[in-house]
Amino acid sequence: MNKRQELILQIVKEGGPITGEQIADQLNLTRATLRPDLAILTMAGFLDARPRVGYFYTGKSGTQLLTENLQKLYVKDFQSIPVVVSENVSVYDAICTMFLEDVGTMFVVDHNSKLVGVLSRKDLLRASIGKQELTNIPVNIIMTRMPNITMCKKEDLLIDIAQKLIEKQIDALPIVKETENGFEVVGRITKTNITKAFLSLAKDQ
Amino acid sequence: MNKRQELILQIVKEGGPITGEQIADQLNLTRATLRPDLAILTMAGFLDARPRVGYFYTGKSGTQLLTENLQKLYVKDFQSIPVVVSENVSVYDAICTMFLEDVGTMFVVDHNSKLVGVLSRKDLLRASIGKQELTNIPVNIIMTRMPNITMCKKEDLLIDIAQKLIEKQIDALPIVKETENGFEVVGRITKTNITKAFLSLAKDQ
């Protein structure tokens, strides 16, 4: 941004909405001289122009404009397939499923295939150093259960899910669809998916 | 981008480097008329101008320009503190440390405090469903050992680390500093850190 563009930005910030004519007056320049600068500031997103109103400051920095691209990434474009186990399965069998499927988080469902719990590697590890026989404990004893489960929808913004994962200090969320008798698990979104999204930003799409 | 800007971009793509004068000729317009459009295309990064040479096409799309911002994120700005255990510690004690420190990956060091292995929750879970007594097995039996450890440096680009985490299907990397007798562990970088970096892009920095 050149010196004159910075001046214009300052003027609009303080006095906007303001016409091109008025900005030119303040700078002792002609409207024609200013036109390229105003075009650039508008094109770059710093200013917005409304007919018969004038220019106003959008309040957007370069970084904010960059982040608008992030606001276009949705859960449905980066999700993974969910791995589910029945609530009556033993902790031992759940651990085996976790290794077979190579996932870090599994979802527990009832006889109607509706979400009732979440099992993380941490939950399974905690159970496995206990004194009990792992083949005798059903997963519904050790899982995180409803209503303490953070869920999301396919249409959610990826950036909001990243926020939830960090806030709640968890690795994965179930993607659900609401039905009459509960939530159906339709997907899984993890820090791995977020890492892939981060990478996708750096690649030519 | 307006129709005329698209035309200019096309002309420069095909005939660049080319002077403003020459572009104006091709479009039957004056140099003055073109000036705002050329300024915008240059400002937006599509064209670059060199004195006494003319305009040339940078080959950059809007997405590429966005991603240049990603190329400014370094490991050192998003790293976490590493959690290390000695190679003689038992698997049981390592699991306790993992819960106490609340991490998903720990690094194993020798008597010189140099990196010799990596322990993930998955490694510990695998060991814990085995038949052995966990207090009797040292971690160096079950850890991933050198030279099979993927490492990184503080100065590495975050985007390259994200790539490694996905390629190698791991959750964390040790950040190391090379010394005469091996690698000193100075940090830890995880998918959680990448998720936070992703979030930071969306926030006003």
The mean per-residue pLDDT over the stretch A118-141 comes to 93
What pLDDT does residue A35 have?
87
Contact call for residues B14 and B49 (beta carbons, < 8 A): no
pLDDT surpassing 80 at residue B65: no
Residue A41 to chain B, least CA–CA distance (Å): 9
What pLDDT does residue A137 have?
95
Position B67 in a domain: no
Q: What letter would DSSP give residue A165? A: H
Question: What range does the domain containing B52 cover?
Answer: 3-62
From residue A8, alpha-carbon distances to A16, A36, A45, B157, B161 in Å are 10, 12, 14, 36, 41
Give percent of chain A with pLDDT exceeding 90. Answer: 59
What pLDDT does residue A205 have?
40
Residues 2-31 in A contacting B (C-alpha not used; CB under 8 Å): none
Better-scored residue on pLDDT, A64 or B90: B90
* β-bridge pairing B115-120 and B47-50: unpaired
| Domains in chain B, number | 2
The verdict on a CB contact (< 8 Å) between B199 and A162 is yes
**Highest-confidence segment of A6-15, A55-64, A143-152, B8-17:** A143-152
What are the beta bridge partners of residue B74?
Answer: B157
What pLDDT does residue A44 have?
74
Q: Examine the domain organization and report whether A9 and A91 are in the same domain.
A: no
Q: Name every chain B residue with its beta carbon within 8 A of the beta carbon of A166.
A: 192, 195-196, 199
Q: Is A167's Cβ below 8 Å from some Cβ in B?
A: no
Neighbouring residues of A30: CB distance < 8 A, sequence distance ≥ 6: A24
> What is the pLDDT confidence band of residue A204, given thresholds at 50, 70 and 90?
very low
| CB nearest to B121's CB, from A121, A163, A202 | A121
Give the domain CATH number at A62.
1.10.10.10
Residue B202 to chain A, least CA–CA distance (Å): 5
Better-scored residue on pLDDT, A86 or B130: A86
**Nearest residue to B104 (alpha-carbon basis) of B92, B93, B120:** B120
What pLDDT does residue B205 have?
40
Q: Examine the domain organization and report whether A108 and A176 are in the same domain.
A: yes
The ipTM estimated for the assembled molecules is 0.71
Neighbouring residues of A5: CB distance < 8 A, sequence distance ≥ 6: A37, A40, A41
For tokens 């409207």, the residue is A31
Q: Examine the domain organization and report whether A29 and A93 are in the same domain.
A: no
The verdict on a CB contact (< 8 Å) between A98 and B125 is yes
> What is the pLDDT confidence band of residue A90, given thresholds at 50, 70 and 90?
very high
Position B161 in a domain: yes
Q: What letter would DSSP give residue A47? A: E
E strands present in B93-181? 105-109, 115-120, 144-145, 172-179
Residue B125 to chain A, least CA–CA distance (Å): 5
For tokens 């981060």, the residue is A198
> What is the pLDDT confidence band of residue B204, given thresholds at 50, 70 and 90?
very low
